[in-house]
Amino acid sequence: MHLPRGLELVRVLGVGGFGEVVLARDPNLGRDVAVKLVHGGGHVQDSVARMMREGQALARMRHPSVIHVYEAVQVGADVALLMEYVDGGDLTGRLNDPRFTVAERLEVLAQVASGLEAAHAVGIVHRDLKPANILVSGAGVELRAKIADFGLARLSRDTEAFRTEAGMAAYTPGYGAPEQMIDPDHETPRIDWYSFGVVAFRLLRGTIPLPGQRAGVGEELWERALALDPADRVAPGELVAALRSLPPGAWTPVLGSGFGDAPPVPAGPVTVQSAAPDTVLASSADPGWVDVPVYRPPPAPRRGRTAGPPASVLLGVLLGVLLGVALGVVVVLLR
């Protein structure tokens, strides 16, 4: 492992197909930094140049709800992204925690929505928004949420490990927008809008949206957030404002104590749709699946057929016929 000159390795934070993430110490500035080493892959010159440009664009963006990229440095055939280090876990670790209040969940969504809006304003799309890419620290008034790996889904597609082939894509099924499944290179802010809607649903409903599951509270709003047509989707900021406008206690039946252990049973047919997660995960992170019972209505009678008599009636008729035959045989034998 080669770090940019002057950095001292503290420990490895994670290893993935794209490379490694490590915690390093910058003795000159007296601060800890997270370093993401992205492998250059087969087409070294082209991919490194592309990643350097994208990394530099990320470094120019500053927002309190986005992990700051300090700089992008070429290290041999790799690119090292020096980033802000946040000493806290990602949102995945809090999803099923009943102590994580509704107010805190809505605050996380508000901060993430603000970060997305700032990024989209300068032409940067995340492409892989999910709980594992949202770092959370503190609680109550000290609660802070920061979006990580902004744009790295696209950077990683330039690497050999993440090239879009053999069923791999730079998004996470369940969170990726339907149009990403059709065209992995599709890139507009509205793919992030869809992913944000899934994250919000996961936070406030306890599951990701599944076929056969009613949205319940705010049903029409969820339909807009998770619309299959990008033109029909609601922006993250508008979604948060609408969610906050719902009456107090609206989420209590869902987010009660231990809600993650016993998701609510769907009470009707499909009203919220999401594309089926039928592709391979683009990362090893747990996308936050929770099994829920799926309502399946009884099959409708086939056309052209009418309902027959009950089975008990048919059985009685059959027994009567058999008894009649038996009596007839006895009469014949007695003659």
Handedness of CA 172, 173, 175, 177 (dihedral sign): positive
> Bridge partners of 31?
26
Judged by DSSP in three states, 333 sits in helix
- C-alpha radius of gyration, the chain, whole number: 28
CB 125 within 8 A of CB 187: yes
Pairwise CA distance, residues 1 & 23, whole Å: 13
Catalytic residue among 90, 128, 158, 192: 128
* Count of CB atoms situated within 10 Å of the CB of 321: 10
32 is catalytic: no
Amino acid at 2: H
DSSP H or E run through 240: helix 236-244
Cβ burial of 86 (10 Å; 0-12, 13-18, 19+) is middle
DSSP H or E run through 315: helix 311-334
Question: Is 146 annotated as a binding-site member?
Answer: no
How far apart, in Å, are the Cα atoms of 138 and each of 95, 104, 111, 129?
A: 15, 10, 14, 21
Question: What residues contact 141, with CB distance under 8 A and at least 6 apart?
Answer: none
Pairwise CA distance, residues 175 & 181, whole Å: 11
Of the candidates 224, 184, 195, 166, the one whose C-alpha atom is nearest the C-alpha of residue 287 is 195
Q: Which residues form the catalytic set? A: 128
Q: Which residues are annotated as a binding site for ATP?
A: 36
